[in-house]
Homo-oligomer: A and B are copies of this chain.
């Protein structure tokens, strides 16, 4: 399977991998959220090669996550800014950061924090259901194939699934 095939995949997660499925892209977005906007800013802070950085920025632009904005003529220079799509990526960063902080320990402390814009207090991200407000974790939520429109979920282990559901649920514990 080729890289580009992912962009057309039916699964949103696969399409997401077509955009952020590499070592650098998410870190570039992190820098965007930290306020970095220029080529050399990204390059110096990340240590990514200029070649790759140029390519990634181009991709993020064509995918509508960043947009280039001229900040001077003569010579013409652009800076990169988050589009609405890019800005709406923030919750993913929050969730990912929170997971990594709790599950991939490090001797050095986290070099940044998420704070409220008003107040400036540090936040603790939780994924919840908009309607019920219930916290969404592996214990409360289940991922199910949609046989809905069209195609197979045929090769999914149906017995294993039930087993798994039982296992993940706080049974006998």
A113-133 interface (Cβ within 8 A of B) = 113-117, 120, 123-133
Contact: B110 with A36, CB < 8 Å? no
How far, in Å, is A148 (CB) from chain B's closest CB? 7
A54 at interface by CB-CB < 8 Å: no
How far is B136's CA from A35's CA once the two chains are assembled, in angstroms?
18
> Can you identify 17 A-B contacts, CB atoms within 8 angstroms?
A9-B106, A10-B108, A10-B109, A11-B30, A12-B104, A12-B106, A13-B100, A14-B27, A22-B22, A33-B138, A90-B136, A91-B136, A112-B145, A114-B136, A123-B131, A123-B134, A123-B136
Q: How many copies does the complex hold?
A: 2
A77 at interface by CB-CB < 8 Å: no
Residue of B nearest to A143 (CB): B33
